[in-house]
Amino acid sequence: MFSWLVGALFLGSSAQLDVLTEAQSPLELRNPSVSAKDWQQLGSDVGGRMFEGVPFAEPCFTGPWNSSECVSIRENYVDEVTRTSEASAYIQTQWETCQVTGEQCLLNFLDPNDTQPTLAPRSCKQGSVPSYFIDVRGADDVNAAFKFVKGNGVPLVIKNTGHDYKGRSSAPGSLALWMHNLKNISYSPAFVPSGCTSEPRQAATLGAGVQWGEAYAFADTQNITLVGGSDKVVGAAGGWLQGGGQGALSPSLGLGADRALEFKIVTPDGKLRIANECQNTDLFWALRGGGGGTFGVVLESTVLASPQVKLQTLILTFAPDANVTKEMWTIMADNGLKWAEEGWGGFSMANVVIFLNPKLSPSAAQVSMAPLIDFGKRLQATASATTTVLFTEFPSWNAFFQAFSKDFVATVGSSLALASRLIPKSIFETTEKKESLVSGLLAADAAAPGLIILISAPTAYTHTPNATSVTDAWRSSVYHVTVVSSWNWNATLAEKQLHYQTASGSIDNLRRITPDAAYQNEADVHEPNHEVSFWGTNYPELLRIKQKYDPDHLLDCWHCVGWNQEDRRFSCYV
């Protein structure tokens, strides 16, 4: 952590509390009734592990451009590991800003060495960076925060890595629970949920701050497989898991929510609860898909571990060409149901596809993938220098992930609008529908280049009905498709609004031919009918559980269960 950030640690000095100024207060959202003494007491209650939220790029605005701190920030401005290790930094930078007013503290993500963003009259503004962060190390810290916000009316947010496309881990004038340092991780070969008499199962327990890169490396040491996300810095136990959790192994091994066995959670009444299939069962159901930052603060999650698997993998890349993309996506559509039922997962963009399978033998996998392999070989015959066709076996998920993550990293350090859609099995059933899917994908990619097809629906996984609270549409889908539209530090309000409209308009090409269903963690900020899109028929029960465990509405976030769009914490959304 940078010294400029930890320098604001509360050690009882009133000088360190002198931050309640309008200059750092977009929309004047800080509660003037909260005295310095109250903040000081909270700092003491959490053992001094509370500090001011200082915008990530602040040293480049207030100090010398060539200072060691500014140089380090510029060198790491678009580095995902750096950003997820800093309390005040976010993967998508609009969530550090007040998009409505333009109050921000950003550099040029295309060229962080560009001085233009820092020149007068521009200055570093707090934006939506929380006013204070608590470095959470246990339940007592969370309980102290709940008591404080209930008594003082300060917005509370929960942040781990800041890898959140909907801004749920930041809010102007807020107090943030920074979960990042809860890094405990352990393996149990015979885990039985607390208070239960069920059959023992292999399981891993992950602290709220564990990231998937760390979890996968740990799993390798134990010869087990964990189902997780495709980016190494995503948190394993927080919003990813609680929002459903999809990945390339999900077609055969299930969603993250399917594999959750137990949660340790502090609910807004300050109680530390264990939620599993035997106790607090309604809360357990809600946490398996109802969304993060809603029902309480999860300290750790225990998830099912599978035996280590070998992966049969096909990787095909070629030079961008719209006609070739159409042929590839047509082959994928023609074989979509068959491949899904055989357990194939993976990713595709306009000029790349990666398929992997933990179930088939090498020979069976090659036979299954023959249409794409033959297609790749035909491309090689005419464009060998720009075409790669690789069919290989990886000894474990982590081995594949290490190779994959070198070349495929989520967009970091920019502002972007994202939208998504689940593509149902029914659209793969007739030639006409498959043609409409391919046309819709091509049109969406043309409107917002960068479309990704995530072959991550749990199509070949046998789930227990009603065991999770995700939309049932996941069970009848094959693809999860995302589109993005990004902008830089100098975008106007009208330009930001246009990018949100562009992403939403792009995914409309698929909305028109699919039911209302989207992955809540990677959805349009303005997703229409979001309660149905994210939770289907489960929303009324989720709302009842929300009201049971959080009657004072201490937790709220954009498009979360029971959210109040008029709450002042959402004032910076456009």
Q: How far apart are CA 432 and CA 544, in angstroms?
A: 42
The per-residue pLDDT for 32 is: 59
Q: How many domains does the chain have?
A: 3
Residue 30 sits in the same domain as residue 119: yes
Q: Is 262 helix (H, G, I), strand (E, B) or coil?
A: strand
For the stretch 205-241, pLDDT in tens is 999 999 999 999 999 999 999 999 999 999 999 999 9
Distances (CA, A) of 209 to 87, 132, 235: 12, 18, 6
The answer to whether residue 478 sits within a structural domain is yes
pLDDT digits (tens, 9 = 90+) for 11-52: 333 233 333 333 333 333 455 568 889 999 999 999 999 999
* String of DSSP letters for 287-327: HTTS-SSSS-EEEEEEEE-EEP--EEEEEEE----HHHHHH
Distance CA 90, CA 82 (A): 10
Structure tokens at 488: 């830089």
Tell me, yes or no, whether 92 lies in a domain.
yes
* Type of residue numbered 396: S
Average pLDDT (523-552) is 98
* pLDDT in the model for residue 2: 29
In a domain, 213, yes or no: yes
* The domain boundary residue, chosen from 153, 178, 203: 178
Report the CATH number at residue 204: 3.30.465.10
Residue 304 φ then ψ, to 5°: -65, 135
Q: How far apart are the C-alpha atoms of 393 and 177, rounded to whole Å?
A: 42
Rounded to a whole number of angstroms, the distance between the first and last alpha carbons of the chain is 31
User: Is 258 found in the same domain as 160?
Assistant: no
Structural tokens at position 104: 């921000």
Closest CA to 164 of 238, 250, 259, 216: 238
Choosing from 274, 290, 308, the residue where a domain stops is 308
Q: Model confidence over 76-133: pLDDT tens digits?
A: 999 999 999 999 999 999 999 999 999 999 999 999 999 999 999 999 999 999 999 9
Do 353 and 296 lie in one domain? The reply is no
Question: Judging by beta carbons within 10 Å of its beta carbon (0-12, 13-18, 19+), is residue 197 exposed, middle or buried?
Answer: exposed
236: Cβ contacts below 8 Å, ≥ 6 apart? 206, 210, 211, 212, 214, 215, 226, 228, 229, 301, 303
Specify the higher pLDDT residue, 10 or 507: 507
Same domain, residue pair 84 and 36 = yes
Residue 388, phi then psi, degrees to nearest 5: -120, 130
Shared domain check, 128 and 190: no
> Does residue 555 lie within any of the structural domains?
no
Q: Which domain holds residue 156?
A: 3-178
pLDDT for 411: 87
126-to-23, 130, 173, 387 alpha-carbon distances in Å:
8, 8, 9, 47
Q: Is residue 543 part of a domain?
A: no
Average pLDDT, the chain: 93
> Does one domain contain both 157 and 296?
no
- Nearest 5°: the CA angle 372, 377, 378 is 95
Task: Please indicate, yes or no, if residue 217 is contained in any of the structural domains.
Answer: yes
Whether omega before 121 lies within 30 degrees of 0, making that bond cis, reads yes
140 and 256 in a single domain? The answer is: no
Looking at 162, 178, 194, the residue that finishes a domain is: 178
The answer as to whether 171 is a domain residue is: yes
Name 97's Cβ contacts closer than 8 Å, sequence gap at least 6.
Answer: 103, 104, 105, 106, 127, 128, 415, 572
Burial track 303-329 (b if 16+ CB lie within 10 A, e otherwise)? bbbbebbbbbbbbbbbeeeeebbeebb
Residue 529 maps to which CATH number? 3.40.462.20
Query: 3-class SS at 415?
Result: strand
pLDDT in tens, 248-263: 999 999 999 999 999 9
Nearest CA among 161, 82, 94 for reference residue 484: 94
Q: Is the pLDDT of residue 1 over 60?
A: no
pLDDT in tens, 367-414: 999 999 999 999 999 999 999 999 999 999 999 999 988 777 788 999
- Are 292 and 315 in the same domain? no
